[in-house]
Amino acid sequence: MSVSNLLENWAQVRHEHPINDKPHDPYKWAMAIDLDACTGCNACSVACYAENNLPVVGREKFQHGQQMHWMRVERYWDEDGREFPDQGFQFLPMMMCQQCEAAPCETVCPVAATNHTADGLNSQIYNRCIGSRYCSANCPFKVRYFNWYDYPTTDNVWPAEMTQQLNPDVSVRGKGVMEKCTFCVQRLSAAKVVAKGEGRIVREGEVQTACQQACPTGAISFGNLVNPESRVHKQWEAQQVVLDKDKQEKDEKEERAVLRGYRILEELRAYPSVMYLERVRESAV
């Protein structure tokens, strides 16, 4: 894509949601993650490695910050200086691409390699990416991962037999390309193709992301936000979290809301598609 072409056609490759001319129809993929159910066990993260052909980079590259885990479990202590963390950790299961509706990464990509799909995903086009890494620099969640090496040919990443484990539905990325969580777009595409063939839209529960499928406590729900039957839709609605608001009405009220849905760094106006439900701790002990 030449610069002139890019400048002329910018509006076409840039697609920000929500906008009136292209509403989310019939799909808007979204998630709700319950921090109270998450135990921090990492099953989701391993599932992601298996499903999405993530390379294991090894100790040295990990030390250099070159790990490729699309999702990471973060955990935090209380900051009140107690001797022991006697209310446990606060796990943030799965910090991964929040599939922002107005994604800061998209606006800075010089080649429009990352842009918005009609079903509300922040997509990454590997063969368009030139590796400027502007997107990663501009991502407030730090969930974009850059291929500093050509992992398929790096020693001990996928030696001999291990290549047979690679998922043929997902491309193996080469050096110089940015990558990130896709909401398991290969699974979504497959489900959409099947549904289209049958003249309907994808039903609730018909498609699961790999992390959701593995999660032993069912902390993750995933689905079509515009489908009123979907669990995700019901959860967002019950928690009064609205996709295209940067300040939720419920938070404006004087009284402390009795709802626990929130989005991370909402004030940055990126409109993330992932809602988290606050962790709950018993007050009686």
Retrieve residue 52's tokens.
């999405």
User: Which residue lies nearer to another protein by CB, 7 or 258?
Assistant: 258
Q: What's at 254, amino acid-wise?
A: E
- Residue whose structure tokens are 């990352």: 114
User: Which residue lies nearer to another protein by CB, 245 or 260?
Assistant: 260
Residue 12, classified by CB atoms within 10 Å of its CB into exposed (0-12), middle (13-18) or buried (19+), is exposed
Shortest distance, position 70 Cβ to another protein, whole Å: 13
Task: From 51, 32, 39, select the one nearest 99 (Cα to Cα).
Answer: 32
User: Which residue lies nearer to another protein by CB, 142 or 200?
Assistant: 142
CA separation for the pair 43, 60 (Å, rounded): 24
User: Which residue lies nearer to another protein by CB, 5 or 165?
Assistant: 165
CA separation for the pair 97, 29 (Å, rounded): 13
CA 140 to chain centre: 13
CA separation for the pair 210, 9 (Å, rounded): 35
Retrieve residue 218's tokens.
């069912």
User: Which residue lies nearer to another protein by CB, 14 or 281?
Assistant: 281
